[in-house]
């Protein structure tokens, strides 16, 4: 859609969305859409083949935590907020999803 387009079918889109818009609202939306499309048109003209400027500084090292086993939840804590817990073997009943 061209950036300077001023004949965007606001009334048609409103009808498809089952919205009732007054002529004043339609004119307001038309002006706003024209501004948005003009902005998108300027963004589309941006030179994307040029690399982004870099600050030239050193990058901070990525700090990773150790992959070590920790304390786990007990069955009671894990099932505390379960919607349909079965007490005996500590299970959760899940509704059938597929036929």
For the entire predicted model, the pTM comes to 0.42
Instruction: Kindly give the pairing relationship between strand 91-92 and strand 85-86.
Output: antiparallel
Structure tokens at 43: 């963004």
As a whole number, mean pLDDT of residues 53-70 equals: 78
Sorted by sequence, the CB contacts under 8 Å of residue 84 that are 6+ apart come out as 92, 93, 94
Q: Which residue, chain included where needed, has tokens 């007054």?
A: 22
Give residue 1's pLDDT band: very low, low, confident or very high (50, 70, 90).
very low
Q: Is the pLDDT of residue 2 over 60?
A: no
State whether residue 79 is helix, strand or coil: helix
3-class DSSP assignment, residue 67:
coil
Q: How far is the CA of 64 from the CAs of 44, 61, 67, 72, in angstroms?
A: 39, 9, 9, 21
60 band by pLDDT with thresholds 50, 70 and 90: confident
Give residue 3's pLDDT. Answer: 46
pLDDT in tens, 9-59: 888 889 999 999 999 999 999 999 888 888 888 887 776 666 566 656 677
pLDDT of residue 56: 63
Pair 3, 41: CB distance under 8 Å: yes
């Amino acid at each position: 859609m061209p950036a300077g387009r001023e004949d965007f079918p606001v009334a048609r889109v409103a009808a498809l969305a089952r919205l009732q818009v007054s002529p004043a609202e339609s004119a307001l939306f038309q002006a706003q859409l024209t501004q948005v499309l003009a902005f998108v048109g300027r963004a589309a003209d941006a030179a994307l083949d040029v690399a982004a400027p870099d600050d030239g500084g050193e990058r901070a090292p990525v700090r990773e935590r150790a992959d070590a086993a920790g304390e786990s939840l007990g069955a009671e804590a894990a099932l505390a907020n379960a919607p349909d817990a079965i007490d005996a073997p500590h299970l959760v009943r899940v509704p059938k999803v597929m036929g």
